[in-house]
Chains A and B, each alone.
Chain A
Amino acid sequence: MFPRQFDYVAPTSLDEALQALADNPNAKVMSGGMSLIPLMKLRLFSPQLVVDIGRIPGLDGISDDGDHIAVGALVRHAQTASDPLVAANAAALAQAAAWTGDAQVRNRGTTCGALAHADIAADQPAGALACGATMVARSASGSREIAAADFFVDTLTSALNDDEILVEVRLPKAGAGEGSAYDKLGRRGGHSDYAVAGAAAWVRKANGTVAEARVALTGVGSKPTLAPAVAAAIVGTDGSADAVVAAAEHALEGVTVLEDLYGSEEYKAHLAKVYARRALTSALDAV
């Protein structure tokens, strides 16, 4: 639990931080450090430079930007979990943040960090996927937007380039008839700890019919992922309990299930359906 040698900078402006990343191909961004530091201590990550973005002003807010809300890079899980704007517009993400780790982790770890980290069993990526989030990535050479659906590439791999900082995650403002929810089984049971399996769902109902939906899974494969067949199956139905059960049966279409210490393939496949059903049910209830 002793990292290899590394250099450390804590710039006080975003430009400085981006320049440090541009200058050092073997640098890592640190926000809350809740995942980065353990990996460095285990010597699984050995960056030459750690760029601590924690002292950059202006990144710790959640703002209403008209058609979307923006969650800044330094917004902690605890803040995401309790913020009224997030609750009103992206309840699935708020719930996922509330069930991330323990109080200490929630007070230090950041929502953007959890997304950038792209753990296979992390909670908030599912929330971001279901809520249709957009990631805003900045580098010294400019800024780009990445849709959540394109962001989670593989185990611990996001679409961010090494010189990019995820400066904010944007969540569309909820309109009429919309609702979202997240549910999971934690590794310690209940909602505690990383997800053995979990699902987030977002729905929009119009005229008594499910007009649009997104369902995302976490914990079951090599990355948090959308389960498009579930969404397709629920759209056009009345969202009844039977319709939800039937739609959830499609949870594994296009999804590769992987076994780990917490569950066999069969079990995880089963849980994917259970949580797709539960998340959809809660999302429909929230409309």
Chain B
Amino acid sequence: MSTTSVLGGIVRRREDPALIQGTGAYVDDIKLPGELHAAFVRSPFARADITSVDASAALAMDGVRAVYTIDDVRDLGPLLAQVPVGALRPLLADGAVHHVGEAVAMVVADDRYVAQDAADAVVVEYEPREAVVTLKDSASDRVKVNDSLESNVLMSWAGPFGMEPDQIAEVKAGIDAGKARDDVVVVSQEMTNQRLIPVAIEPRAVLADYNAGYNSFNVWSSTQMPHALAGAVATMFGLPTTSVRVVAPEVGGGFGCKLNVYNDEILVAFASRHLGAPVRWTESRREAGNSTIQGRGWVATATLVGTRDGEIVGYELEGLADMGAYSQNFTVAIPFLGLFVGSGQYKMPTYWKIDCVATNTATTDAYRGAGRPEAIYYLERIIDMYAREIGLDPAEVRMKNFVPAAEFPAATSPLGFAMDTGDYATNLQALLDHYDYAGWRAEQEAARAEGRNVGIGLASYVEVCGFAPAGLADLGFSWSAYGLPTAFNGSGVVRVNPDGTATVVIGTGPSGQGHQTTWAQIVSDQLGIPFENIRVRHGDTAESPMGVGTFGSRSAAVDGSATYEAAARVREKAAKIAAHLLEASEEDIVFADGAAHVAGSPDSSVPWADIASVAYQPHKLPEGTEGGLETHVVYSPANATWPFGSHLAMVEVDADTGNVEILRYACMDDCGNVINPMIVDGQIHGGLAQGIGQALFEEAIYDEAGNLLSGSLVDYPIPTAGDLPAYELARTTTPTDINAMGVKGIGEAGTIGAAQTVVNAVVDALSPMGVRHIDMPLRPRKVWQAIQDARG
């Protein structure tokens, strides 16, 4: 009997044939008869009062059905936010605008072109006011971002977590005392972690169809969280959630920007109800920079105190994070995710404080990594500076300060979080050995001798994912704002059909992560039903169990675990039926190759189809067994999971132009057990691209008046394959003890690990010239300028 386990094996993605052949359907591919098209009138000012909106010319145009302003939708209230701290977004500007691109009016017309022409014909009069664009200016409260705010500083995240302010102050005092020791050096640097535009290749799109007879909505949206959107629509329109069906069909990338309920989604639903016709809106790339959330945007100072022989005495991070003009889904909660990982892999007294600051710019929220890349960036940059300052190898300094493996499982991080499993030293050593770090250094020496500016960057990271830990479920890790209180559970339904195939229905909202493949592997492994006979469905709230969607590298660890458990329970029941049919004992039943077998009796087996057919004919079942072969498991993990790893980069800088070339990029990641190595590698590849993109070229650039200068893809270069090195990947495996499969999560690790690895390498290359730090993105002009400045 061969094993049917496909867990841990490379299985080709079930999703790909449709995506590659163009037979998958995105929102824009779904056409309803009689549908109308929306377009938005958007503010050209970052801050202005609106004195009038005149839609008469637009309304007079052929094919224009309606022009809506806030007066039409004020009753629905502002856009719901999961963490409603700060100004909430009115569905359309209410007398004032607070960022460029804010929607002032919505036009609905027979086609998209007419809608856009009509939007151009709406005349809005503005009385411009001073906009607040930069973080420090905003934090000074010199000018308010929004008249409704008491302060532009909306809240602050300080740590260690769980401590009272006076206890936190004590930690800080302890570190300050350390600074006075005469055997230490103090290294400090203010750094910017710039704002980024997520740029999902499929822009956001929504199609809503109201049915007056049922008083219900069907909504198709390119979203990462279909249930939350259904809940939000239901809540805002005062309907039960059963009256709203949301379908997330193929979703062409999300990276967190589709982890939000947007005003356009609500407005399109409103218009459909008002006009009695389906209404769609597809975001144009040009408006996406301002109408979709952005990510990152921190200015903070990292300070590290350590002895001259490499022992870290304390670490502090203090700074500001940009929230933009309005709080949406998680906005102010994003820096909290940074706090989780703020002390990285290290055991060292840590003080951490990030203030959430509003500005007259687009809203920020989760972007791949969400708070964690920022936190790790500051930490790993300052550790690198410290190593340079004391003249130790950066690998050695890290090794000396890791949380020891012996403290796991359930080590408590210096910032007060319980970490599941970890073995940081083994992982870093594996990186150094596997890629021959010493050899890299020798190569660097040789290159330097030829006058080439070659640098090597090393950085380690921890990630926290698989939210939410049950213990933190009440801290806003919930969709309660959308009328759906949950503990951010995972959920999975496993159903064996009468023909012996299986249908798996999950509450995730993938945007390219390959859930149909991975979940089929999990269930195939549990049930011995061949992979091809398992169909995984997701994204339709009418058929999938309540789920919180896909984000925070959580799906495998949380929803995957729920599905794993559901499959295990189906297997138990199937074993009962098989034992009955085979007249064997339940304990001896094993599943493989599409059948149940009796251990030790190779000839005794019954195929899944026979078991299933009996399951659906209850009169044939053993006494006391219910009909059907289906289980729904709702699972809440005891803790988050903490993947980790270390990355190495080798770069060459052209000192004449400032151009940076990545010569090699090598990873040693640890995400626990791996279900499908190819999918995991793919996640790392994509994550690295976005981390390297931040390091080298991406930046949402605002001018003083709050105009987004890099809002088009001409000026916002997203990395393409041709811009990136061939990655070298390898892994260590430290399974989590939090879930049965031992899986942690890998969706964001690449992004969390990459940016500082590249920056460390570039600074290493230029350190002989005296360059100490360069803020991202390391565009050639900045690198060149840093060289000029260092040379004096």
What residues make up the interface of A, taking CB atoms closer than 8 Å to B? 1-5, 38, 41-43, 102, 185, 187-190, 192-194, 196, 261-264, 267, 270-271, 274
Contact = CB atoms under 8 A, between A and B. Distances in A.
B38 to A, nearest CB: 12
Contacts of B712: 42
22 contacts: A1-B285, A2-B113, A2-B116, A5-B117, A38-B714, A43-B120, A187-B697, A188-B720, A189-B697, A192-B720, A192-B722, A193-B717, A196-B781, A261-B710, A262-B779, A262-B781, A264-B781, A267-B658, A267-B781, A267-B785, A271-B657, A274-B657
B765 to A, nearest CB: 14
B657 A4 contact: no
A4 B714 CA distance: 21
A263 B697 CA distance: 13
**Secondary structure of the B side of the interface?**
mixed
A191 to B, nearest CB: 10
Contacts of A271: 657
Interface residues of B, number: 33
Given A5-B113, A261-B701, A190 B723 contact: yes
B412 interface: no
Contacts of A41: 284, 286
Nearest to B203: A1
B215 to A, nearest CB: 33
Contact of A189 (B660, B701, B715): B660
Contacts of B39: 2
A187 B717 contact: yes
Contact of B112 (A2, A185, A187, A190): A2
A57 B723 CA distance: 37
Contacts of B723: 188-190, 192
B709 interface: yes
Interface in B655-696: 656-661, 696
B784 interface: yes
A61 to B, nearest CB: 29
Contacts of A43: 120
Contacts of A187: 697, 717
Nearest to B119: A2
Contacts of B696: 188-189
Contacts of B117: 4-5
B657 A185 contact: yes
Given A189-B696, A190-B723, A261-B709, 11 more contacts: A2-B112, A4-B117, A5-B117, A38-B714, A188-B696, A188-B717, A189-B659, A190-B659, A192-B720, A264-B781, A267-B781
B780 interface: yes
A1 B711 CA distance: 13
Nearest to A267: B781
Nearest to A192: B723
B53 to A, nearest CB: 21
Contacts of B697: 187-189
A265 to B, nearest CB: 11
Interface in B706-760: 709-710, 712, 714-715, 717, 719-720, 722-723
Contacts of A4: 113, 117
Nearest to A271: B657
A143 B715 CA distance: 38
Nearest to B697: A188
Nearest to A184: B657
Nearest to A43: B120
Nearest to B288: A1
Interface string B761-782: 0000000000000000001110
Interface in B20-71: 39
Contacts of B113: 2-5
Interface string B422-447: 00000000000000000000000000
A190 B725 CA distance: 12
A236 to B, nearest CB: 26
A185 B654 CA distance: 11
A263 B781 contact: yes
A264 to B, nearest CB: 7
Given A2-B113, A271-B657, A196 B780 contact: yes
A261 B781 CA distance: 10
Given A2-B116, A261-B710, A189 B780 contact: yes
Nearest to B116: A2
Contact of B656 (A188, A192, A274): A274
A3 B723 CA distance: 31
Contacts of A1: 284-286
Contacts of B709: 261
A264 B384 CA distance: 30
B722 A102 contact: yes
A270 B784 contact: yes
A261 B779 CA distance: 10
Contacts of B659: 185, 189-190
Instruction: Name the 5 nearest CB pairs between A and B, nearest first.
Output: A1-B284, A2-B116, A263-B781, A188-B717, A267-B781
Most buried by A among B696, B697, B709: B697
A2 B781 contact: no
Contacts of A189: 659-661, 696-697, 723, 779-780
B693 to A, nearest CB: 10
A126 B39 CA distance: 41
B373 to A, nearest CB: 21
Which residue among B116, B286, B696, B781 has the maximum number of chain A CB atoms within 10 Å of its CB? B781
Contacts of A193: 717
A175 to B, nearest CB: 32
A21 to B, nearest CB: 24
B695 to A, nearest CB: 11
A8 to B, nearest CB: 14
A159 to B, nearest CB: 25
Nearest to A197: B657
